[in-house]
Amino acid sequence: KPDPNWVRSDDFHASFLIPKDDALERSLKYSDENGLPEINVHAGQGKLLHLLARSIGAKRILEVGTLGGYSTIWFARAVPEDGQVITCELKENFAEVARNNFEYAGVANKVKVLVGPAAETLQTLPSDEKFDFAFIDADKASNLTYFLQAKRLVRRGGIIIVDNVIRNGTVANPDIDDENVRGVRNLLAHIKEDKEVDATTIGTVSEKGYDGFLYALYL
Ligand code: DHB
Ligand code: MG
């Protein structure tokens, strides 16, 4: 049930700032055709992630939660030819759709998909090959697990961004207590005490409603 006011607003801003893009549009269409849920970041957020990665000259980017690879394509286009995006996806059929999208977008050479529970695949990555940027957008219950793995793998001065930390305000609503909001609250409680990161939540609004990114700088 997209809100038409925000559909129009997203489309309006995108018409000035985000050129129509065959490969990105195709990735969403192909994902939809293959039954993946439409829970990708929206175009404005994808471009923000892309610009942030370029702003810090990121060469290696870690993503948790590939889905159909829409945000992954934005990231892959932000890194240089010899850069890499490593993205973790639980489901083999989602990973297959994403790989197909990377081929079509011409970024397959820069992207590696690790299939399986990210809590396990992340542990296989060596901490001496640091990432500049991590984006966490997978099962919300495991946010803190993924954040701690991201800290192990991201360089000092790097960025860790976590999606869906507002959830239409439910994270702050004491009457709501499900595994998703608990996953976000656990992360916030951790960061409050973690002297190695400085962070903020920035709210976003789109046709999908009100949500937000948590932006953390690894000091
Ligand atoms: C859901 C997950 C997401 O990452 C998102 O951005 C929106 C919704 C979900 O699981 O419903
Ligand atoms: Mg998300």
CATH of the domain at 196: 3.40.50.150
Q: What is the domain range of residue 61? A: 4-218
Ligand 1, atom 3: closest residue by C-alpha:
39
Ligand 1 geometric centre to CA of 93 (Å): 18
Q: What is the pLDDT of residue 1?
A: 78
Q: What is the pLDDT of residue 139?
A: 98
Rounded to an integer, what distance in angstroms lies between the CA atom of residue 54 and that of residue 80? Answer: 9
User: Phi and psi for 214 in degrees, rounded to 5?
Assistant: -95, 125
Whether the CB of 39 sits within 6 Å of ligand 1: yes
Q: What is the pLDDT of residue 200?
A: 98
Rounded to an integer, what distance in angstroms lies between the CA atom of residue 40 and that of residue 156? Answer: 28
Rounded to an integer, what distance in angstroms lies between the CA atom of residue 197 and that of residue 191? Answer: 7
CB 159 within 8 A of CB 56: yes
In the chain, which stretches have pLDDT less than 50?
none
Ligand 1 geometric centre to CA of 39 (Å): 5
Encoding tokens for residue 162? Answer: 């976590």
Q: What is the pLDDT of residue 207?
A: 86
Ligand 1, atom 8: closest residue by C-alpha:
39
pLDDT in tens, 116-130: 999 999 999 999 999
The pairing of strands 209-218 and 154-162 is antiparallel
CB 111 within 8 A of CB 102: yes
Rounded to an integer, what distance in angstroms lies between the CA atom of residue 160 and that of residue 154? Answer: 8
Q: Of 120, 114, 24, nearest to 62 (Cα)?
A: 114
Pocket test for ligand 1, best of 164, 167, 211 (most atoms within 8 A of CB): 164
Rounded to an integer, what distance in angstroms lies between the CA atom of residue 64 and that of residue 139? Answer: 9
pLDDT in tens, 142-154: 999 999 999 999 9
Q: What is the pLDDT of residue 208?
A: 84
Whether the CB of 163 sits within 6 Å of ligand 1: yes
Total structural domains within the chain: 1
Ligand 1, atom 4: closest residue by C-alpha:
137
The minimum-distance atom of ligand 1 relative to the CA of 41 is 6
Q: Of 52, 48, 53, 46, nearest to 69 (Cα)?
A: 46
